[in-house]
Amino acid sequence: MIGLSKKLTIREALHEPKLLGHALPGDSWLPWRTMLVAIMGEELTDDERAIYRQFTGRDAEPGFIPAEFFAVAGRRSGKTRAAGTLAAFVGTCVDHSAYLSSSERATIPVMAVSTVQAQKAFSACMLLEDSPILSKQIDTSNSETIRLKTRCDIEVRPGNQKTIRGITSPLAIADEIAHFYTEGVLTDAGLLDAVRPSLQSGKHHGPLVAISSPWGPKGELYDAFAKHHGPNGDADIVVAKGSSLEWNSTLDPKTVQRAMERDAAMADAEWNGNFLASVLNIFTIDGLNAITDIGVTEREPIPGIRYAAYADPSGGTGLDGFTLTIAHMEDGVVVLDLIRETLAPFNPEQIVEAYAADLKRYGVRTIQTDRYASAWNSTSWVRHGIAHRPSTKTASELFAALLPVVNAQNIRLLDDEKLRRQALGLERRISSGGKQQIGHGRSIHAHDDIVNAVAGVSYALTKPAAHPKFALAAPAFSLNGGEFSMTYADHSAHDPASFGASRSR
């Protein structure tokens, strides 16, 4: 097969300020310049070859234009700009007449999971306008197409396998290929299978370039990495992998550090460029011990503190319990005050009555609950003087929101063995469609009712426009001109005694 008929090398274009010298300048862009030179079939220097070896696991560049190039790169690594630079080069610096029929035009599709995402990648191609020479090759341009005088169009294309067929391409770019979903189904394989034939035209071929931050151990990006990264892979398929900091040395390491502190597993994928395990426990025993007030099983209500509550109801049959949690904020920290759990069998109306008494004791008049479908879940609370508001979040979303709160130690837990056991049993799973789900394990003995209620009350207190850090005590005032007074409740953070701690229920 014959690659592309280049009018000049990409190394020359990237070096010349009047061409693409402004696109990937300086030492921080050296890894990407190295990859572009290599996949355009050009020779590397010794220093560049060491970089190529670091990212691909191969000793030397291919020496020809490979059929496919996959880049596994973390966020803010510069991958989208690098891909846009390659599209600009191929669009303007390749003789497309070598493979086109007399009336045909070439298309470079810039594909992403949505048109909005594709336009972000497409905007990187507009760096052509900054070149005093290459900008003259632009015939017309708009937000979706750059029509070039070279008989080539660079186009925004949503990642739809049905609409990508029927074009002739010297290059195809798939941005964030690991995240291509349609209605929850991973569609990357169908898209790439649809675009691959467009890159073959007689004896000529162009490269398929797929760039993405990684996700779970499935999909085209993962398969390419598993099969072709390193010296034993297909020479016609090049896979480069690196962290955000390796690709982009200007990135502040503190950005990555803070992400690791919030959610180490997700940050390992998004910033370190590592694929997520299909099943991963989200909490550790050491992490939970650090935020648990040992020996404290309940905290008595304190006048002047505003409390929030969350319930995970059930109908009184089966294996699930009916749980209630009450908590408050203290110096930016969620403080868990009460846990109630009732196991089946029970009469849910009686449990609501008992829980309503607890709520009133803490001055709580509105409860948020899991989206339990039974009608009594709303009406029963109201009958007992408690306003009801169903949660807008799924349990998985609540667990995901709880994770950074726990990792930052911005929550104080009660000493409850079942809570600890359920939290340790929570698993992050990557589904067959590639979606993240957090929940309990698959054993019939696994439960998450208590930890779900804890996650719910934590979210209620920490979401935007939540309760203030310090709540006003009940004001004393007279409508007939008497004095108005108010007091603030303030307590020492993390001291169980100051939270009204009780060591028995």
Residue partners of 350: CB distance under 8 A and separation at least 6: none
289 shares a domain with 227: no
Query: Is 240 found in the same domain as 332?
Result: no
Whole-number pLDDT of residue 182: 53
Last residue of a domain, one of 272, 295, 325: 272
Contacts of 462 (CB under 8 A, 6+ apart): 329, 334, 401, 405, 410
pLDDT of 1 reads 56
Do residues 66 and 112 make contact, with C-beta atoms less than 8 angstroms apart? no
Q: Which domain holds residue 297?
A: 285-462
417 and 333 in one domain?
A: yes
- Examine residue 404 and state whether it is found in any structural domain, yes or no: yes
Tokens, residue 53: 């070896």
What integer pLDDT is reported at residue 362 of this predicted model?
97
Q: Is residue 504 part of a domain?
A: no
Exposed e or buried b for every residue in 402-422, given b needs 16+ CB within 10 A?
bbbbbbeebbbbbbbeebbeb
Would you say 238 and 56 are in contact if contact means Cβ atoms under 8 Å apart?
A: yes
Which ranges of the chain have pLDDT less than 70?
1, 181-186, 278-279, 316-319, 372-376, 430-435, 441-446, 464-505
Please report whether residue 503 resides in a domain.
no
Q: How far is CA 300 from CA 303, 329, 488, in A?
A: 10, 15, 18
* Domains: count for the chain: 2
Q: Are residues 92 and 216 in the same domain?
A: yes
Last residue of a domain, one of 272, 301, 318: 272
Residue written as token pair 């020359």: 12
**313 and 401 both lie in a single domain:** yes
Residue 476 inside a domain? The answer is no
Say what the pLDDT of residue 498 is.
44
Q: Which of 111, 116, 41 is nearest to 83 (CA)?
A: 111
Domain-embedded: residue 124: yes
Asked if 232 and 338 sit in the same domain, the reply is no
State residue 500's pLDDT score. 47
> End of a domain among 429, 444, 462?
462
152 and 296: one domain?
no
Q: How far is CA 15 from the centre of its chain?
A: 35
Q: Residue 387 maps to which CATH number?
A: 3.30.420.240
What is the predicted pLDDT for the residue at 151? 94
Regarding whether 291 and 175 lie in a shared domain, the answer is no
pLDDT for 497 equals 45
> Which residues make beta-bridge pairs with 242?
73
The answer to the question of residue 76 being in a domain is yes
Contact of 186 with 212, CB cutoff 8 Å:
no
pTM, full prediction: 0.66
Closest CA to 14 of 123, 75, 90: 90
Whether residue 372 sits in one domain with residue 229: no
Phi, psi of 79, deg, nearest 5: -65, -35
Shared domain for 257 and 352, answered yes or no, is no
**CA-to-CA distance for 79 and 176, rounded, in angstroms?**
9
CB atoms within 10 A of CB 295: 11
| Longest Cα–Cα distance in the chain | 94
Cα first-last separation, the chain: 77
| Domain CATH code at residue 163 | 3.40.50.300
Kindly state whether residue 486 falls inside one of the protein's structural domains: no
In this structure, is residue 409 part of a structural domain?
A: yes
User: Are 15 and 112 members of one domain?
Assistant: yes
79 and 17, same domain (yes or no) = yes
What is the rounded CA–CA span in Å between residue 47 and residue 45?
A: 5
